[in-house]
Amino acid sequence: MSRFWSPLVHSLTPYVAGEQPTISGLVKLNTNENPYGTSPRALAAISEATDDRLRLYPDPTARRLREVIAVRHDLDPDQVFAGNGSDEVLAHTFHALLNHEEPLLFPDITYSFYSTYCHLYGINFRRIPLDQNMQVRIEDYLQPSGAIILPNPNAPTGIARPLSDIETLIRQHPDQVVAIDEAYVDFSGESAIPLVKEHPNLLVIQTFSKSRGLAGLRVGFAVGQRPLIEALERVKDSFNSYPLDRLALAGAVASWEDEDWFQHHRDLIVASRERLAIALRALGFGVLQSSANFLFARHPSRSGADLAAQLRDKAILVRHFPAERIEDYLRISIGTDVECDKLLAAFKQILT
Ligand SMILES: *Cc1c(COP(=O)(O)O)cnc(C)c1O
């Protein structure tokens, strides 16, 4: 606490990011990074962009990136907004579109950045409990609200709702923005992007961090009809005109265009996920049905905090959230098969 702080700063509850230690030999399964990294074409494009042009400001509108994203989804580039990681796109979304008199609704168990943004921007919000199976129930959102935000698949459960449920939600709330955070959609979920054309209240947010292996480059985007995107642009241009630097723009475009690399490595991760889920169940874990690049699992006779600490002693990092309803779960990012096998071997030792 400091007397120099603006009053708001005293009441913030900052997001706590997963650790990024630099210990060598660590099996790092705690922040849902992609174990295969990014497309070599993206790396080449970043090298190629690394020259004297760095003295110039980058394109403030990220035009080329918005174009390639728009073409893939048969949209207009003006229906795409790009930002410095989807966290920044989300922050602008909360600021520009989700702050109304009635509360913003989101699940009680979800991405913990949402309540952080609400505190930052003074947004009235209400958490809607997941059901006993840790599922989002669309019917529970039928109540007065200013807007709705949901990750699909949800985090940290990994559970996806079918697109028909998302469409029902959008139809039931024609006067509210429904924002769908699709950070993990590429790992077997169904994207709501095709619904954007028909629904003026839908905003879909995606990231290059997880399925495209570019968490370090910080690139995310949103798609929606023009009035929603214009609101994001107004906030962005009141905050930072150049959120994406030259290297990020070059790398993101090349990564987006390397569809073969993307699909091949995404499929490897999905296959490893299914294999790891089976092996964890054989060790007695309850594992939620994941459509993401992580598993959410608990053991019936061990506390989540103890298991996470014992894995840490063996140089394996997973994420543990000390929050109500989920304190005995571990969120385990899908690594390579070698990393998954190290995790399984460690669990076998710990559990015997
Ligand atoms: C990882 C994640 C993000 C943020 O990703 P960026 O790296 O900022 O693009 C957004 N939403 C959810 C649910 C996530 O798990």
The pLDDT assigned to 24 comes to 81
Ligand 1 pocket, residue 86 CB under 6 Å: yes
Does position 1 have pLDDT exceeding 80, yes or no?
no
pLDDT class of 56 with cuts at 50, 70, 90: very high
187 and 160 together in one domain:
yes
- Whether cis (ω within 30° of 0) applies to the bond prior to 153 is yes
Query: Is pLDDT of 21 > 90?
Result: no
The predicted structure's pLDDT at residue 132? 95
For residue 31, which atom of ligand 1 is closest to its CA?
1
27 and 133 assigned to the same domain = no
> What's the burial of 158, exposed, middle or buried (CB within 10 Å: 0-12/13-18/19+)?
buried
Interhelix angle 85-97/226-236, rounded to 10 degrees, is: 110
Residues 218-231: what's their mean pLDDT? Answer: 98
Asked whether 111 lines ligand 1 (CB < 6 A), one says: yes
CA of 32 to the centre of ligand 1 (A): 9
CATH number at residue 23: 3.90.1150.10
For residue 3, report the phi and psi dihedrals to the nearest 5 degrees.
-70, -10
Kindly give the distance from the C-alpha atom of residue 1 to the centroid of ligand 1, in angstroms, as a whole number: 29
Q: Is the CB of 61 under 6 A from ligand 1?
A: no
144 and 275 co-located in one domain: no
Same domain, 141 and 97: yes
Pocket test for ligand 1, best of 149, 152, 181 (most atoms within 8 A of CB): 181
CB atoms within 10 A of CB 55: 6
In the predicted model, what is the mean pLDDT of residues 72-92? 98
pLDDT at residue 103 in the model: 98
Ligand 1 centroid to Cα of residue 71, in Å, is: 23
Predicted local distance difference test score (pLDDT) of residue 122: 96
How confident is residue 343, by pLDDT bands cut at 50, 70 and 90? very high
Instruction: Answer whether residue 341 shows pLDDT above 90.
Output: yes
Q: How many domains does the chain have?
A: 2
Helix (H) or strand (E) holding 30: none
Distance (Å) from CA 232 to ligand 1 centroid: 18
Tell me, what CATH number does 153's domain have?
A: 3.40.640.10
Last residue in a domain, options 226, 258, 290: 258
Rounded to the nearest angstrom, the distance between the alpha carbon of 24 and the centre of ligand 1 is 25
* Confidence at 20, pLDDT banded by 50, 70, 90: confident
Could you tell me where the DSSP H helices lie in 18-109?
Answer: 40-49, 63-72, 85-97
Helix residue ranges per DSSP H, 137-186 = 163-172
**Which band of pLDDT confidence, cut at 50, 70 and 90, is reported for residue 70?**
very high
The H or E element spanning position 339 is helix 337-351
Q: Is the C-beta atom of 189 inside 6 A of ligand 1? A: no
Taking residue 268's Cβ as centre, other Cβ atoms within 10 Å add up to 16
Average pLDDT of the chain is 96
Residues 295 and 209 in one domain: no
CA of 151, closest atom in ligand 1: 13
Q: What is the mean pLDDT of residues 166-193?
A: 97
The ligand 1 atom at the shortest distance from the C-alpha of residue 220 is 9
CA atoms within 13 A on the CB side of 336: 6
Residues 191 and 332 in one domain: no
CB 155 less than 6 A from any atom of ligand 1: yes
Strand segments (E) across the chain: 27-29, 80-83, 104-107, 125-128, 147-151, 177-181, 202-207, 220-224, 286-287, 294-298, 316-318, 329-333
Cα(74)–Cα(296) distance, rounded to whole angstroms?
A: 34
Interval between CA 88 and ligand 1 midpoint (Å): 9
pLDDT of residue 290: 98
Phi, psi of 12 (to 5 degrees): -75, 150
The angle at the Cα of 86, spanning 80 to 89, to the nearest 5 degrees, equals 60
210 CA: nearest ligand 1 atom: 1
User: Helix, strand or coil for residue 146?
Assistant: coil
Pocket flag, ligand 1, residue 215 (CB < 6 Å): yes
Are 145 and 274 members of one domain?
Answer: no
pLDDT tens column, 97-122: 999 999 999 999 999 999 999 999 99
Mean pLDDT of 137-165: 98
Phi, psi for residue 303 in degrees, rounded to 5: -80, 145
Q: Which one-letter DSSP state was computed for residue 319? A: B
Q: State the closest ligand 1 atom to the C-alpha of 111, by its place in the atom list counted from 1.
A: 13
Phi then psi dihedrals of residue 284, to 5 deg = 100, 0
The CB of 107 under 6 Å from ligand 1? The reply is: no
Residues 51 and 21 in one domain: no
- Domain range for 113 is 41-258
Burial profile 227-258: b = 16 or more Cβ within 10 angstroms, e = fewer:
ebbebbbebbeeeeeebbbbbbbbbbbbbbeb
Same-domain check for residues 203 and 185: yes
Query: Which atom from ligand 1 is nearest to the alpha carbon of 87?
Result: 8
- Percent of the chain past pLDDT 70, that is, above it, reads 100
232-291 pLDDT per residue, tens: 999 999 999 999 999 999 999 999 999 999 999 999 999 999 999 999 999 999 999 999
Q: Is the pLDDT of residue 34 over 90?
A: yes
At residue 42, φ and ψ (nearest 5 deg) are: -70, -40
| Residue minimizing CA distance to atom 1 of ligand 1 | 183
pLDDT at 22: 80
DSSP state of 241: S
Looking at the fold, whether 182 and 287 belong to one and the same domain comes out as: no
68 and 202 together in one domain: yes
Are the C-beta atoms of 245 and 107 separated by less than 8 Å?
Answer: no
Atom of ligand 1 nearest to the CA of 110: 13
Burial of 95 (C-beta count, 10 Å sphere; 0-12/13-18/19+)? buried
Looking at residue 42, its pLDDT comes to: 98
pLDDT band at 18 (very low <50, low <70, confident <90, very high): confident
Q: Is the pTM of this model over 0.85?
A: yes
Where among 205, 224, 258 does a domain terminate? 258
Place of tokens 């019917």: 139
Range of lowest pLDDT (13-22, 145-154, 261-270, 341-350): 13-22
Q: What is the pLDDT of residue 27?
A: 95
CA–centroid distance, residue 198 to ligand 1 (Å): 26
**What is the pairing mode between strands 286-287 and 294-298?**
antiparallel
Instruction: Among 258, 293, 311, give the residue marking a domain's end.
Output: 258
CA–centroid distance, 349 to ligand 1, in Å, is 33
Instruction: Tell me, using a 6 A CB cutoff, whether residue 220 lines ligand 1.
Output: yes
Whole-number pLDDT of residue 84: 98
> So what's the pLDDT on residue 23?
78
Ligand 1 geometric centre to CA of 208 (Å):
9
Residues 149 and 53 occupy one common structural domain: yes
Does the pLDDT of residue 157 top 80, yes or no?
yes
